Amino acid sequence: MDAESLLAGLNEPQRTAVTSTDGPLVVLAGAGSGKTRVLTRRIAYRIASDQTDPRRVLALTFTRKAAGELRDRLRSLGLRDDVVAGTFHGIALTQLRQRWNERGIEPPQILDRKVSFVARLMSSSRGVDPLDVVSELEWARARLVDGSTYAEAAKAAGRTPPIEPAAMGDLMERFAQEKRRRRLVDFDDLLALAIRDIRADPDYAAAVRWRHRHLYVDEFQDVNPLQFELLSAWRGNTPDLFVVGDPNQAIYGWNGADPGLLARFASREPGATVIDLRDNYRSSPQILTLARAALGTSKGLEPHRGDGPVPDIRSFPDDAAEAAGIVDAIRHAHSVTRQWRHQAVLVRTNAQLAVLEQALSGAGIPAKVKGGAGPLGTPEVKTELRALTQPGRDLQIMLAQLDEAIEGDEGEQLTQAEIERRSNLGALSRLVHEYLSVDPEPTGPGLNAWIGTLKGGEVSADGDAVELATFHGAKGLEWPIVHIAGVEQGLVPIGYAKTGGQLEEEKRLLYVAITRAEQELHLTWAAERTFGNKTVRRQPSPYLGDLQSAIDHLRAGRRPMDWKAQVDQGRKALRRPKAIEAEMDDPIFIALRAWRRSRAKAADVPAYVIFNDSTLRAVAAAKPKNRAQLGRLPGIGPVKLERYAEELLDVISEAS
């Protein structure tokens, strides 16, 4: 392994990140900027140039799969298995076992059935799902919150506890006591015990730090406070710490992650070197323009691919029509050079996947859900489906009971997990309603067979198929063509996101979804969506305003990355009193806004979905007299030209 050859193909910031001898070092690596490449090349380069003993390297990731991929990458660079790469929990458990063995301590048992264990402590909390309580326990432990501080911490974080905050704090204390009494530890305890051992024994701490003196952490924006405490214990005073992450892909705050640990890294470490990787090698300039619009920023990733098609936003009357429209777009994009696997459909929630899977299967297009199962594969739906498909069951009565359970009681406070479970059950309810409408003699086994036909044939893990995934599930992946469905208020952002921090995370989630696309990006929303047996009117996502503005900017032929500057300049001009007075006195602009208001009310959509103010200003200023002149104006794409041209020309004529 030659050190210089490891620098081949790296740009200047990447090369600096690989070769820098300063520490600690933080690399802010945007989507598609070569994050993993820099991490593995730095490890290999420092070993090849005799700066690092491979046996003293510890590389930390968050999943066993990621750790395995990291090891594979290092092997491909010529390294053997000397480098230790693993998860926080895996490394902690290995160290604890060694220490227990050396000291002759009988290891405690791992608590592998936490839900049932917690359920036995909840005798007075009927109607509460133990899984929700376990999720809250894990969030609190990740944030270093104990029973005495839980209520205050949960309120500050905007949590909706599954039980009363005081009761939740009490249960946390009893959970910890019962584990100690029975000599049981859960996975979070492994981290806490590893921290305790290092802090309690200076000689042991010195040995651990000597063994792992070169530390690397991937996806640092996903580190939670408990993991950070363990990292600090492993590190001691060594400056040899390399972390890489992307603040714009911090999407696990709901699970205890603290993206501030990355954002505050430089201020916490006065001698830290910060390297920013802004060069994107994945997506077209047009897609990156929408990525900036999603975050509402003028700064962002710099494209290094050629131009691609301008992304588009389409609306549909309902979610079934939306799914059918996406199927048509997928089929149209498919060719000899573009296989099914080159396309993905991304959604905010797992429950949305059912209607898409059904539509693709009906069209004969192979599809697979990332992770292997959509809403029909969730535990709550499997349980309900087993009951529904038993012979001799009255499906009408059982379906009515299911719909009643999904609807719940008016005004009840639901946890995020309960909302998601009910959404998944709603997807099942919708399918059962469809089955009852097509089978004159419905039966449980008949329902089971009918649902089986909707899922299509089995697709192997590496088979050619369109991939369906949630925004969270898509992180770390990429496709030439991406369809983002359900971009609606209540989904994007999700309905239970209330605090400023939660809403910012929802923006980052949309950004993650957008930056999965390499060449083409299509976004859709539906004016109606069916949840179980209820059809609900929908509104487009509030984020679509800036996205449509960016699209209009691109269609006008302007430089993609100038979008935010153009918008800011327009907004600044509007703040000038003379500009405002002139605008308010313009009869054409006033007439156009009145027309837009009437059109939006009739369509039951926000006004900006019809046209934004900047487009109306351009129309009022130009006073076009025919379709050709109108079509040359910014913000007037071919679809809107076809839909509104005659009306706009009439308004201009009457107001002139």
Separation CA 274–CA 98 (nearest Å):
36
Regions of the chain where pLDDT drops below 70:
125, 372, 410-411, 455-461, 561-585, 605
From residue 590, how far is each of 583, 584, 587 by CA, in Å?
8, 7, 5
Claim to verify: residue 153 and residue 208 sit in the same structural domain:
no
Q: How many domains does the chain have?
A: 4
Claim to verify: residue 321 and residue 402 sit in the same structural domain:
yes
Find the CATH number of the domain harbouring 600: 1.10.150.80
Separation CA 27–CA 17 (nearest Å):
7
What phi and psi values does residue 185 have, to the nearest 5 degrees? -135, 140
372 found inside a domain: yes
Find the CATH number of the domain harbouring 522: 3.40.50.300
Claim to verify: residue 534 and residue 650 sit in the same structural domain:
no
Claim to verify: residue 165 and residue 204 sit in the same structural domain:
no
Structure tokens at 35: 């994050």
302 found inside a domain: no
The confidence score (pLDDT) of residue 372 equals 63
Separation CA 374–CA 585 (nearest Å):
55
DSSP result, 509-548: HHHHHHTTEEEEEEEEEESEEEETTEEEE--B-TTHHHHH
What is the Cα 296 distance to its own chain's centre? 17
Claim to verify: residue 247 and residue 177 sit in the same structural domain:
no
Q: Which of 542, 568, 594 is the last residue of a domain?
A: 542
Q: Do the Cβ atoms of 361 and 455 come closer than 8 Å?
A: yes
Claim to verify: residue 351 and residue 394 sit in the same structural domain:
yes
568 found inside a domain: no
254 found inside a domain: yes
562 found inside a domain: no
Task: Please tell me whether the peptide bond between 493 and the residue prior to it is cis, using omega within 30 degrees of 0.
Answer: yes
Claim to verify: residue 404 and residue 499 sit in the same structural domain:
yes
Claim to verify: residue 10 and residue 85 sit in the same structural domain:
yes
pTM of this structure: 0.84
Q: Which of 182, 209, 231 is the last residue of a domain?
A: 182
The confidence score (pLDDT) of residue 127 equals 77
Claim to verify: residue 324 and residue 213 sit in the same structural domain:
no
Q: How far apart are the first and last CA of the chain?
A: 75
Claim to verify: residue 390 and residue 498 sit in the same structural domain:
yes
The confidence score (pLDDT) of residue 628 equals 85
The confidence score (pLDDT) of residue 636 equals 81
249 found inside a domain: yes
555 found inside a domain: no
Claim to verify: residue 178 and residue 194 sit in the same structural domain:
no
Cβ burial 66-104 (10 Å sphere, 16+ → b, else e): bbebbbebbeebebeeebbbbbbbbbbbebbeebeeeee
Claim to verify: residue 158 and residue 211 sit in the same structural domain:
no
The confidence score (pLDDT) of residue 576 equals 41
DSSP single-letter state for residue 4: G
Q: Which of 151, 182, 213 is the last residue of a domain?
A: 182
Domain around 272: 4-99+190-277
290 found inside a domain: no
10 Å Cβ neighbour count for 623? 12
The confidence score (pLDDT) of residue 579 equals 44
